[in-house]
Amino acid sequence: MTLLKHVTPYYWRGEWVDEESAGRRLDDIGLILPGLREPLVVDDVLAACRHLASQLDDTTGSTYAGLRDELTDPSTTALPAKDADALLAGLAKALDPRSLAAQLTAELGSAAPGVPVPAPFANEAVEVWQPVGTLVHISPANVATAGVLSAVEGLLAGNTNIVKTSGTDGLFTQRALALLADADPTGRIRDRLVVLRFSSSNTDWLRRLCRSADAVAVWGSEEAVAGIAQHAPSGCRVVAWGPKISFAYLDRTASAEPAGLRGLARDILRNAQRTCTSPQVLYVDTTDHDRLFGVADALATALADEAPGLPVIAPTAAEQAEVTNVVEVARLEEHLGLTRTRSASDGRWHVLADTRPGLCASPLFGTIWVKPLPREDIVRVLHPMRRYLQTVGLAATGDGDVALSGEFFRAGALRITPLGQMLDTYAGEPHDGHLALQRYSRRVSMPAAFHEGVSA
């Protein structure tokens, strides 16, 4: 049968279908949008989000339990229970209709972006935000809620949304978006949602998925983005949420206080550094190697203090091999006076102090570089990597935070936060320097006379 009663990796506009049926329907993606007779109403999306958020707030309910089971399934997402609870709480907060309405107003100028408004530079014209059309989301494997939230933003913009999840993912995205669709009695959300799980190595499905797209939102490495872009049709908008690197900075005016370093330690240990806002380097405003190594020792102490209270996410064999390789090379370089390393006895974390300032990626899973970077050299050292820079966790006192923020923004950074808050976000926060709703929309114009009752 095509229509199944149980959950499958393939959710198609309200139906759970098998792999064979999903494969056949891929060629019909381009027919979904023309077949829709009524536009999506923003208030209906907000109401559905309110309903799902209330279900997530009920931590004893069956909805919460089902989604939590997906996140903690050891064969797929395998999140520790505490991380799953935190992620669901964050999702409930993100789905708060008040926050979403504020995001609409901040990014599209109104909580009703489909209403024409007078054009700012023309007396007899109006402008309005319109959906981009068919929006394909290639969601990442390392952030379980990314596909859900991106689809919600696509719905707020009025789009038809086709979500591809990783071939190794569980069914969290499918279940969550199906619940959202079920919360809309009009059926319009359901008609605009397709969620499919398959590997990107399945290039036949990937090509057919993207063939009818008006826009493709993709997370991942430069290679992953390029791999998706080659399947996008001519004129298709590719919204790339590409690879980023984040770091912390300890200003010379700020001492290495235990509270600040413990906050940084939590940033390092949360989600095994697998999010783009996780710190991979701690820069210290110094040229003194003794001070650098002293800060590294203090950070190691903070990591040892914080690690027992945070869940462990085990690396794969390949990921562990990379960690081991990087740490062993750093240990060998101690004999050259270039580095000093500190590691947990169980390998939970590694602090790699390196006297060379160049920005480099960490192998993650609790591994942090500690490097010198005098404030005078911030732009010179970091600017060559500007398109990869994301979040800076800043520790400074007095007016130092203002001046240093300006330097980091000049270098290319996109966010400044205090230590301990690098992974935290707020509703409507720009992502990688962009407003998602605008990237999922088109701004169109017309003569005011074409819209009765709209004055220019």
**Tens digits of residue pLDDT in 259-271:** 899 999 999 999 8
Could you tell me which of 346, 325, 433 has the C-alpha nearest to residue 387?
A: 433
> What crossing angle do the helices spanning 42-57 and 146-156 adopt, rounded to 10°?
150
Q: In this structure, is the dihedral angle defined by the CA atoms of residues 292, 295, 301 and 304, taken in order, positive or negative?
A: negative
What residue ranges define each of the domains in the chain, with the CATH number in brackets?
10-242+432-450 (3.40.605.10), 245-418 (3.40.309.10)
Q: What is the largest CA-CA distance in the chain?
A: 78
So what's the pLDDT on residue 454? 41
Cα–Cα dist 373/181, whole Å: 50
Rg (CA), the chain: 24
CB 143 within 8 A of CB 153: no
Average pLDDT over residues 209-226: 93
pLDDT tier, 5 (very low <50, low <70, confident <90, very high otherwise): low
Could you tell me which of 142, 171, 198, 165 has the C-alpha nearest to residue 67?
A: 171
Alpha-carbon separation of residue 178 from 120, 182, 184 (angstroms): 40, 6, 10
What percentage of the chain exceeds 90 in pLDDT?
77
pLDDT, tens only, 280-294: 999 999 999 999 999
Q: Above 80 in pLDDT, residue 44?
A: yes
Could you tell me which of 377, 379, 323, 331 has the C-alpha nearest to residue 354?
A: 331
Cα–Cα dist 139/14, whole Å: 20
Cα–Cα dist 182/364, whole Å: 38
Average pLDDT over residues 355-371: 97
Burial class (CB in 10 A: 0-12, 13-18, 19+), 210: buried
pTM of the predicted protein model: 0.86
Average pLDDT, the chain: 92
Buried b / exposed e across 41-66, counting CB within 10 Å, b at 16+?
bbebbbbbbbbbbebbeeeeeebbeb
Cα–Cα dist 331/125, whole Å: 67
pLDDT, tens only, 14-23: 999 999 999 9
